[in-house]
Amino acid sequence: MQFAERVSRLGTESAFEVLARAKALEAQGRSIIHLEIGEPDFATPPHIVEAAVRALHDGYTHYGPTPGLLPLREAIARYIARTRGFEPSPDGIVVTPGAKPIIFYSIMICAGPGDEVLVPDPGFPIYASAVRFAGATPVPYQLLESKGFRLDLDELAAKLTPRTRMLILNSPSNPTGGVLTRADLERIAALVQGRPIIVLSDEVYSRILYGAEHVSIAALPGMAQQTILLDGFSKTYAMTGWRLGYGVTTPEIAQKLALMQVNCTSCAASFIQIAAIAALEGPQDAVERMVAEFARRREAIVAGLNRLPGVTCVAPEGAFYAFPNVMSYCIGGRTSRDLATYLLERAGVAVLWGTSFGEAGEGYLRLSFANSLENIQEALRRMEQALAELPASPSSPSLPGPAAAAGRRAP
């Protein structure tokens, strides 16, 4: 079978690769602690579920308008006004089945062969994958541990060229948990204003913060006309399986996004959109409790990682990921991927390697603390034991695989 060349340019998410391997080990009777998947381990709040059930009984089981139901787009406009400080037109909002379509649609309408798109490194891998699929070139800009995993603004300025068509921002960040400051965003706005550059601002973790302030670049003077703000319901409302996201931009850009949608998915499910109104305008106490619990886990996982010999971890300011520095274990040809494989197969702890998120992620691991405090503490104990048994200088990059680890299972 011969496939189109562009398919070879698509990447993937390593989280699902690791999840599959972890599930296979569990099927063999292994005890696995899952710190690989970026999914809240909380139930969707009951009032949202009830709204969806009512919507099904009320007949919201048919096609809806391609950009989304008007009552939901109006609710999103009010929500953006409350949380970002500017009120968009409902005509500038497009609701999609999950947030990823906005990434793809935005890149496809803005960039093509010969164009460049600036992407964070380390960053969500789908950004660069979609850029390559569009035929454009992803240009990474580095997020620096020394700056709390914020970007070097001078480096960003140097990478802007006449071929730059889009700048992708993600704050709070996956995988690092870094948060851009208002001063960062003001400088970025000054760099891109007046240029033919669209900013894709991925803000899906905007409500999951630990004392930091979330600022949207779209709220800065003049930037609403040059920004596609990406948000969704998966992380804030524990609705990952519901698949609902949205883009907020100008009516002109929204028309192009909707044109992509009508060609790809037609529309998002109507009954889920009705439930989304309940999410935005109903009680928010479940969100607050979830974030408070994440904060407790964050303290535990950061402190625990920093107690491990040879490991350091900057406290994330947002999202629910820790991104520890494990460079002291990446020696003798051993990579962070080797280390992640070892921890899964030797210790039964599923984590992601840093290069899942770009070349600048080498020497780091990503751990999701969307798991119970008890499981996090057990994972840290297993990691400490496994790292203590790790050869100081392996003869090859490979670490003990399933066969070598057999009989030495983590408790």
> What pLDDT tens digit does each residue of the chain (411 aa) get?
899 999 998 888 788 889 899 999 999 999 999 999 889 999 999 999 999 999 999 999 999 999 999 999 999 999 999 999 999 999 999 999 999 999 999 999 999 999 999 999 999 999 999 999 999 999 999 999 999 999 999 999 999 999 999 999 999 999 999 999 999 999 999 999 999 999 999 999 999 999 999 999 999 999 999 999 999 999 999 999 999 999 999 999 999 999 999 999 999 999 999 999 999 999 999 999 999 999 999 999 999 999 999 999 999 999 999 999 999 999 889 999 999 999 999 999 999 999 999 999 999 999 999 999 999 999 999 999 999 998 654 433 334 433 333 333 333
The CATH number assigned to the domain holding 389 equals 3.90.1150.10
- Establish if 62 belongs to a structural domain: yes
Strand 245-248 relative to strand 93-96, pairing? antiparallel
Examine the domain organization and report whether 271 and 370 are in the same domain: no
- Residues β-bridged to residue 138: 117
Neighbours of 142 (CB within 10 A): 19
Q: Is residue 116 domain-shared with residue 12, that is, in the same domain? A: no
Number of helices and strands in the chain (H, E): 13, 13
**β-pair partners for 201:** 169, 229
Q: Which of 248, 281, 314 is the last residue of a domain?
A: 281
Question: Are both 274 and 348 inside the same structural domain?
Answer: no
User: Does some domain include residue 410?
Assistant: no
Does residue 264 sit in the same domain as residue 143?
yes
Distances (CA, A) of 372 to 79, 94, 284, 306, 379: 30, 35, 22, 19, 11
Q: Is residue 266 part of a domain?
A: yes
Q: How far apart are CA 152 and CA 221, in angstroms?
A: 22
Helix (H) / strand (E) element for 57: namely: helix 46-57
Final residue of a domain: which of 281, 309, 326?
281
DSSP state of 350: E
- Give the CA distances from residue 204 to residues 178, 222, 275, in Å, rounded to whole numbers and listed in that order: 13, 22, 18
Whether pTM exceeds 0.85: yes
Closest by Cα among 153, 183, 174, 287 to 230 = 174
pLDDT at residue 12 in the model: 80
How many residues can be counted in the chain? 411
pLDDT of residue 223: 98
Regarding whether 53 and 32 lie in a shared domain, the answer is no
Residue 387 belongs to some domain of the structure? yes
* Strand intervals (E) in 346-407: 349-350, 352-353, 365-368
Separation between Cα atoms, residue 226 and residue 104, nearest integer Å: 17
The verdict on 104 and 155 lying in the same domain is: yes
**pLDDT score at 15:** 81
Give the count of domains, the chain: 2
| Residues in a beta bridge with 164 | 116
Q: Give me the domain span that covers residue 109.
A: 47-281
146 and 24 together in one domain: no
276 within a domain of the structure (yes/no): yes
In a domain, 394, yes or no: yes
The answer to whether position 411 is within a domain reads no
If asked whether residues 267 and 294 sit together in one domain, one would say: no
Check whether residue 29 and residue 145 sit in a common domain. no
Domain boundary among 227, 248, 281: 281
Distance from C-alpha of 399 to C-alpha of 368, rounded to nearest angstrom: 23
CATH number at residue 144: 3.40.640.10
Whether 277 and 247 map to the same domain: the answer is: yes
Query: 211 and 247: one domain?
Result: yes
The reply to whether 196 and 86 lie within a common domain is yes
Q: Considering the domain boundaries, does residue 23 fall inside one?
A: yes
